[in-house]
Chains A and B, each alone.
Chain A
Amino acid sequence: MAMLEAKNVSMYFGELAALQNINLSVEKGEILGLIGPNGAGKTTFFNCVTGFLNATRGDISFNGQNITRLGPHRICHLGICRTFQIVQSFHEMTVLENIMMGAFCRHATTRASTVWAEEVLEIAGLKDKRDQIAGSLTLADQKRIELARTIATQPALVLLDEVMAGLNPTETDEAVELIRKIHAMGLTLIVVEHVMEVIMDISQRIAVFDSGELIVEGPPERVVRDERVIKAYLGEDYHA
């Protein structure tokens, strides 16, 4: 049984179909890359999986349980956690407190949550920034905080929405390293990313969205050569 399974998922905003009949599954332990031009529906798909949107049609199940209509907090407790495309760190809290916010998902007391958050700080390499206010840090650090607090919720499946957008090459390398580290901890990942070298490198499988539809799915080396993908990215004119 697949860990996450989306069956015929469609999402309409009025007349606009943001997602149309998406069938996609994710196996435990894999890294699935999700690519596609802007407006292809990647973030909408994330929103449907994490309960921020309720799919208009279709079903999403996680470890066999139907989660289509559950709210975001319920889904987090079941073990799916996400980051946001536009950074959403708790900007007035310290780095440690940000991560504690994730830790509180599994630990009720401040003390227990602090203990676990300190461990996550170590994993995420944020120890030296522990007491700084999140809002005062660089974009790269804030993205790192988001990733860290996501891990702090102890999820089984993590959805990363463009955690490398806006980062310089060094920062990107560091982010990749962290993603690999998280994966090595046994977490399953779905990664939305526009940086092609990165996504081709880390993903075991890639799904390509275009205009709300899943057009191609397969191993990276096959996906990059697929005509439909080239067409979606470069347009009809450049299609040789």
Chain B
Amino acid sequence: MQTTKHFFITLGCVLLAVAVAPLVVANIHFQHLLIMLLLYTTLSQAWNLIGGYAGQVSFGHAVFFGIGAYAAMAPLNQWGLTPWAGMAIGAVISVIVAVVIGVPVFRLKGHYFAISTFAVAEVVKELFSNWKWVDGPIGLDAPVLQEGFYNFMFYKTKMPYLYVTLAFFLVVMVLTFHMERSRMGYYFRAIKQRPEAAQAMGVNISRYKQYAFMMSALFTAICGAFYAMYILHIEPATVLSLDISMKIVLVTALGGAGSLWGPLLGAMILIPLQEYSRIWLGGTGMGIDLIVLGLLIMLICIFEPKGIVGILQRLTRRKG
């Protein structure tokens, strides 16, 4: 495990690079790329808590992402409520949903959790597609409101969005870092490796899985709310899609599930791939990024299940 000093130096470098880069390269595509990079890193780190550290793979994180997105957008549309409040509401609802899914499912062994997250994601997507208040499958568009942080709307520049994602990224990284070396972090890893031995050591494994899932749901919902306010249009087919659920999993698996820097490394590969294939190839290139990603994931599974982090560890060990 990384030392505290080492971690904060690395984190500081990343923050500095991301904060300064768009000032040097004043290109709107590049800023968008950085925002998506940070958003997906934060999302994947959120997934990493339950899927990577605690080893309970969820294929339905779009549920929390979608709840966050709708919670920010719908009250803004209907009542003009500030998206920040919507974000908080979405986070709370997501945590409640995580408890509702987790309480029965975490008592079971095996793959039931993964299966049930799949199912819940599809159910919630259908619910939103048929819910009139949020315009069903058409989705919601953000109203045109006064620019500023209260409405979380910026028309002339992307920089505020970048700094907000940067803040989210920072918070999630620091929290994960502390979690990793606390009792909870040890318990998560123990549950992943040997659940029965963990129980014998006095760990209430269903409760700790629940904690991981709740934290994960909370941050995912916050990212969803941010996404809604950034893209300004949401619909079930985007924010509640299997696509989102899978991308979060794949980014983490590619970078290294259960490791602190895995999500960032995975996102650094997937997000440029996704954004540039879209910019260069347009609509015809849709899915190319996922084809390449699928290939990468296969290679990772076969040669280095610990992801890019595993490859880096191998390289440094050889040197050392």
Our verdict on whether A and B bind, yes or no, reads yes
Please measure, in the bound complex, the distance between the C-alpha atom of A206 and the C-alpha atom of B205, giving whole angstroms.
Answer: 34
Give the number of residues in B that approach A within 8 Å (Cβ atoms). Answer: 19
22 A-B interface contacts by CB (under 8 A): A76-B201, A76-B202, A77-B202, A84-B196, A84-B200, A88-B194, A88-B200, A90-B194, A90-B197, A91-B194, A93-B190, A93-B193, A100-B186, A101-B186, A101-B190, A101-B197, A102-B201, A104-B183, A104-B187, A110-B182, A110-B186, A146-B197
Contact A84 B183 (CB under 8 A): no
Looking at chain B's contact residues, is the secondary structure mostly helix, strand, loop, or mixed? helix
Task: Indicate which residue in A91, A109, A149 contacts B201 across the interface (CB closer than 8 Å).
Answer: A149
CB-CB under 8 A from B196, the residues of chain A are: 52, 72, 84, 88
CB-nearest residue of chain B relative to A47? B196
Interface status of A97 (Cβ within 8 A of chain B): yes
Contact A73 B202 (CB under 8 A): yes
Given contacts A108-B183, A109-B183, A110-B183, contact A81 B190 (CB under 8 A): no
Contact A90 B189 (CB under 8 A): yes
Contact A50 B183 (CB under 8 A): no
Q: Which of A66-88 contact B (CB under 8 A)?
A: 71-73, 76-77, 81-82, 84, 88
Give me the 5 closest cross-chain CB pairs, A-B, nearest first: A76-B202, A105-B202, A72-B199, A88-B197, A73-B204
Q: Which of B162-191 contact A (CB under 8 A)?
A: 181-183, 186-187, 189-190
Determine the interface band of chain A, counting residues with CB < 8 A from chain B: 20 to 34
Contact A110 B181 (CB under 8 A): yes
Contact B200 A91 (CB under 8 A): no
Interface status of A119 (Cβ within 8 A of chain B): no
Q: Which of B189-235 contact A (CB under 8 A)?
A: 189-190, 193-194, 196-205
Q: Mark A101-119, 1 if CB is under 8 A from B, else 0.
A: 1101100111001000000
Contact B204 A71 (CB under 8 A): yes
Interface status of A92 (Cβ within 8 A of chain B): yes
Contact A82 B189 (CB under 8 A): no
Please measure, in the bound complex, the distance between the C-alpha atom of A146 and the C-alpha atom of B193, giving whole angstroms.
Answer: 14
Please measure, in the bound complex, the distance between the C-alpha atom of A150 and the C-alpha atom of B202, giving whole angstroms.
Answer: 10
Contact B181 A104 (CB under 8 A): no
CB distance from B117 to the nearest CB of A (A): 24
Please measure, in the bound complex, the distance between the C-alpha atom of A142 and the C-alpha atom of B203, giving whole angstroms.
Answer: 20
